[in-house]
Structure 1
């Protein structure tokens, strides 16, 4: 069984979708408490909330996650991080990779954020988003992990204790044997982190063939999807969630999520903006939003958002992001108590807060609403959740997944402090 550790909830669903797409029966766990899980899977993805925590905490939680995966039969681990390499000079990609490598007894780990399906490619060690270098995109102003360099080796060296080297595209194009030879040579010279160039799925397939049985591999959903293709002998078909009323809870400040919110508003569907003020509690914000929800028509899809343009969020008082995440978790729990069974959540940190509030432990991977955005089925609580990374999905995703029930615009509201 392939074991995967993801550093946030939406990253976990992205990688689980890639493995499911490859034909593997895939389960998604959102807790390390798997002792009572009796399911069967070809791949088990464990989603943490470690992207933005202190590096020491991320290392501890990731090692605990590995022990949980190993207890379920995993023999090797894939560390999944975001395809935009979201991190800081302190971590957490480098420290966690090194901790897992030490625990599993390997000294060379191939890593690449390349995910051609999502427009992420790596050439000469530089990460591109579409045709732009990473530091030229909106990620330069990310409120938690601003990415102002596009060189993956340079970014990794800032947070790693062990040597970082590049596996250039020319070697990848020379084939699996050439990649293995180069990895052996780099390992003999002390390289631990080997950043691999990859421009397309064929490049990832070569890398996957070379590292398929390696104890530790790291990267985005791109490379593990290729490993899944190399490992799969089945054709598991994911299920489709039942129709029903849907709520969208958005916390991401990414450009794409803001577009999706605008499209939802533009077709006249009810939208509530969470707006906190000094001294407000998460409970007060959540209660106000739920009162607004209770005033809507019984079949009306609706969107509750704390998302703001990055320049607005950057000027918000300290701690406001955490307040919004806690409030959104409380809102999700309140909606579930009211009988809602379909929830769409946008943003990695927001998704982590929601699944924690809903006490989701293990879920089955279902049909994708967009590439890398699968529905997941929490059978224990009867919930169908769509956990969306901020940058994923087309501009009309929120409109598309909430069904054909039109709003009349009269439900628009705000949680502005009074």
Structure 2
């Protein structure tokens, strides 16, 4: 069994989709401590460790590792964001090294390359749709501003072990040479090998080169290639019922803002959550739910706090956390109203939603968009898409809702 530890909820759904796409029966766990049982080829645990203090991220990741081992996993993957979201303190490096130490692994091959999402690595540099990372919107990220594209320079301050690269020229020579270079790095005491990859064929070579590795790390790209080498035991795909869809958006990414605009332009009803000084999450959520109750009973609708940088109120520095709380309360209220379909945009927003719903384990089903599958919380009868802010086509909200145009 493959066990995956993801550093946020939407990253977990992304990697779960990659595993399920290759025919593996995949369970998504959203709590590190809850024992995972059930017939599965892979189990993914989604944490909220990307931006918390490194020591706390390590502790949570080691708890998740124990849970996966108890579930029967024998091969492990640490999934982080394909834009390498981190600071000089971590948490990608510290968590990788803690997991490696716990598993007795001396060298970890890692790559954020995910060509299906436009993320590629060449000469050790990370590109987003052929644009160097530091020239993208990630340079202005409020928590983890990415102002360098060189992965060695980004990773080295975070780790104790040495860092090297596996160049594209070696990958293109095939798995035998790639494996030999990884083995050579291990013999030299190198702890982290960052692999170049610009297309799916490159990832397939790397997956073959690490075929016996106990621990690897990266985005959903490499684990998808690793999964493709497994023999699937078959899976039953969970599909959401037709009906009313609630869209809850908290991400301020460019793509989510485009999806909101497209939904509104196509006639979709929407309610924007805008906090004023002194307002509580309960007050804002109650207003949003009251608005929802006023909509036609068969109408999908959008509740969002997403905004562009220009629209954000600097006088409310805690607004992000407040809006996350609102999203969770709203989702809980919608579930109580019998809503079975919810699309949630944003990693922090998704984390707040599943915490408020109490979702612990979900069955991974078909993808609403690449990297954003429907997951079924069987215990609560709710089907969720927990979407990274940057994922999905512009018309995703419109297509998933399916019945916009009601006022």
* TM superposition score category, shorter chain reference: over 0.9
Deviation of 1:234 after TM superposition, in Å, equals 4.2
- SS of 1:192's equivalent in the other structure is strand
Q: Which residue of 2 aligns with 1:117?
A: 116
Unaligned runs of 5+ in 1: 409-418
8 A contact 1:23–1:237 mirrored in 2: no
Cα drift, residue 5 of structure 1 = 0.3
Q: Distance in 2 between matches of 1:259 and 1:59?
A: 35
Contact 2:30 2:354 in 1 (8 A): yes
Q: Is the 8 A contact 2:171 2:178 kept in 1?
A: yes
Q: Paired residue for 2:223?
A: 224
Alignment partners' CA distance in 2, 1:316 and 1:367: 41
Q: Does 1:200 align with 2:213?
A: no
TM-superposition CA deviations, 1:91-130 (whole Å, max 9, x none): 1100000000000001100000000111110000111111
Task: Indicate the larger mover: 219-228 or 312-321.
Answer: 312-321
CA shift digits 1:307-337 (9 cap, x unpaired): 1113434735221111110111011001111
Pick which of 385-394 and 180-189 moved more. Answer: 180-189
User: How many angstroms apart in 1 are the aligned matches of 2:332 and 2:238?
Assistant: 24
CA 1:314–1:281: 2 relative to 1, 3 Å: closer
Which position in structure 2 is the counterpart of 1:156? Answer: 155
Distance 1:192 1:48, change over 3 A: same
Q: What SS class does the counterpart of residue 286 from structure 2 fall into?
A: helix
Alignment correspondent of 1:81:
80
Structure 1 segment 182-331 matched on structure 2, within 5 A: 182-236=181-235, 238-313=237-312, 315=314, 317-331=316-330
Cα deviations across residues 169-223 of structure 1 (Å, max 9, x unaligned)?
1111111111111111111222111110001111101110111331110000000
Task: Please tell me whether the aligned partners of residues 22 and 232 of structure 1 are also in contact (alpha carbons under 8 angstroms).
Answer: no
State the secondary structure of the residue aligned to 1:332: helix
1:396 lines up with 2:395 in the alignment: yes
Aligned residues: 407
How far has the Cα of 1:406 moved from its partner? 2.0
CA contact (8 A) 1:143 1:310 kept: no
Question: Which residue of the partner structure matches residue 56 of structure 1?
Answer: 55
- What secondary structure is seen at the aligned counterpart in 2 of 1:74? coil
Mapping for residues 31-180 of structure 1, pairs under 5 Å: 31-35=31-35, 37-180=36-179
Q: TM-score, normalised by structure 2?
A: 0.98
For residues 310 and 7 of structure 1, the distance between their equivalents in structure 2, rounded to whole angstroms, comes to 25
Change in Cα spacing, 1:295 to 1:314, as seen in structure 2 (3 Å) is closer
1:247 deviates by 0.5
Shift of 1:266: 0.5
Cα deviations by residue, 1:262-316 (Å, 9 ceiling, x for unpaired): 0011112111111112221111111111111111111111111111113434735
Cα RMSD of the aligned pairs, angstroms, is 1.2
CA contact (8 A) 2:269 2:404 kept: no
Contact kept in structure 1, 2:238 and 2:376, CA below 8 Å:
no
> Distance between the aligned counterparts of 1:316 and 1:189, measured in 2?
52
| Cross-structure match for 1:20 | 20
Unaligned runs of 5+ in 2: none
Following TM superposition, the consecutive aligned residue runs of length 4 or more in structure 1 with deviations greater than 4 angstroms are: none
Alignment of 1:371-382 (within 5 A): 371-382=370-381
2:41–2:233 Cα contact (<8 Å) kept? no
Tell me the distance in 1 between the aligned counterparts of 2:349 and 2:232: 35
Could you tell me which residue of structure 2 aligns to residue 416 of structure 1? none
What SS is found at the alignment partner of 2:229?
helix
